[in-house]
Amino acid sequence: MTPVRTCIGCRRAVAPDALVRVAKGPEGSLAIGRRLPGRGAWLCAGSLPCFELAVRRKAFGRALRTPVDEHEIERVRTEFLRTGPALTD
């Protein structure tokens, strides 16, 4: 049985290799990476509409179980766009 994760933007449940993980580390900053420590949220890889929908729905704060600063969201948006359609770390 393959693991399934849910995109916090579009709410589709798919295999993790089609998604990007955004993690909130112990110091409070957001970063993109599958193996980073801390609580994580999943987004469709390279999908700006999913990212924007997650921001609009305030899904980052709910998924990460903590308030997320707008500056952190903007910073991770830039990193998210650079990752492209697939992130394999």
Dihedral sign (CA 11, 34, 46, 60): positive
pTM value surpassing 0.85: yes
Number of domains in the chain: 1
Range of the domain at 53: 5-83
* 89 belongs to a structural domain: no
* 88 belongs to a structural domain: no
Q: What is the pLDDT of residue 57?
A: 96
* 59 belongs to a structural domain: yes
* 42 belongs to a structural domain: yes
The CATH number that applies at residue 53 is 3.30.1230.10
Q: What would the pLDDT profile of 25-83 be if each residue is shown by its tens digit?
A: 888 899 999 999 989 999 999 999 999 999 999 999 999 999 999 999 999 999 998 87
pLDDT at 88 over 50: no
Q: What is the pLDDT of residue 34?
A: 92
Bridge partners of residue 3, in order along the sequence? none
As given in the structure block, the two tokens for residue 29 are: 């900053």
Distances (CA, A) of 70 to 1, 5, 60, 67: 37, 25, 11, 10
